[in-house]
Amino acid sequence: MNRQITLNNLEDNTFFWYTYIKWFNGYDDINEINIDEALEVIGIDKEKLAEWEEQFFSIDKDGESLKFIGGNLVEDITFLIEFQDHEIIFFLNDIYFGNLGGHFEAWFLTWDEHLSLRQFEHLFLLMLPMTAIEQHQKDNAKQIIHDHLKAIPKFEQNAEYISSCILNGLLIDELFFEFDEVGTVNNQNHSVRNIRKYPRYRENVIELNKVLKKL
């Protein structure tokens, strides 16, 4: 069974994006519901969604359901997103930088780093849950997220609401800063870039900072 999800598989694929965005750390702060509940406004056909999920994430003869999206960003930079049973894991140049799941680690990319990925098809939304947005960036970020959501079938009418929910989960209170001999870091909990709290990721962050400067 081919485990690779191609970028063509994502084109106008409402079921994929609905399923993917459910993993985000977003929430509706007014109604106090998480992103998976907020997405109910889309009005997706749950029966057809279940059929799609069963086929798209089907288990192979070895009992594995792992799927992945990967490719080259530039000549010497690769990205990989692995879809496992209970988590989604993110890599640049085979270096781990975050996951969505029970023990999630996110808020890695700066907003400017994330914007540099817009040149690559679908990478804006794919890498969005790994991004941290500082308070002064939120208006610009919300508009750009909104514009990307509007391009997904069935999301058009509720793009404003869903973008607000997504943004809530990406905002951080403290700024990124430069740390001696490491480069860009932050003090955000559950972020690989918080090397003060998670020193085991120091070498990862040093290498990833070098990679991101090339984009």
Q: What residue spans define the domains of the chain?
A: 7-212
DSSP structural state of residue 94? T
Q: What's the pLDDT score for residue 75? A: 86
Q: What's the pLDDT score for residue 118? A: 87
Determine whether 180 is exposed, middle or buried from the number of CB atoms within 10 Å of its CB (0-12, 13-18, 19+).
Answer: exposed
AA letter at 106: A
Q: What's the pLDDT score for residue 54? A: 86
Distance separating alpha carbons of residues 49 and 30, to the nearest angstrom? 27
Alpha carbons within 13 A on the beta-carbon side of 176: 23
DSSP structural state of residue 83? E
Choose among 63, 102, 70: nearest CA to 86: 102
Q: Which residues of the chain have pLDDT under 70?
A: 1, 59-65
* φ, ψ dihedrals at 23, nearest 5°: -80, -15
N-to-C CA span, the chain? 33
Q: What's the pLDDT score for residue 85? A: 80
Report whether 25 contacts 35 (CB < 8 A).
yes
Residue 137 Cα distances to 20, 129, 203, angstroms: 24, 16, 28
* φ, ψ dihedrals at 133, nearest 5°: -115, 125
Model pTM score = 0.95
Q: Which residues pair with 177 in a beta bridge?
A: 185
Q: What's the pLDDT score for residue 65? A: 65
Query: Which single residue is written with the structure tokens 């793009």?
Result: 159
Q: What's the pLDDT score for residue 147? A: 97
Sign of the C-alpha dihedral computed for residues 53, 57, 62 and 66 taken in this order: negative
Q: What's the pLDDT score for residue 90? A: 98
Instruction: Tell me the pairing of strands 95-101 and 77-83.
Output: unpaired
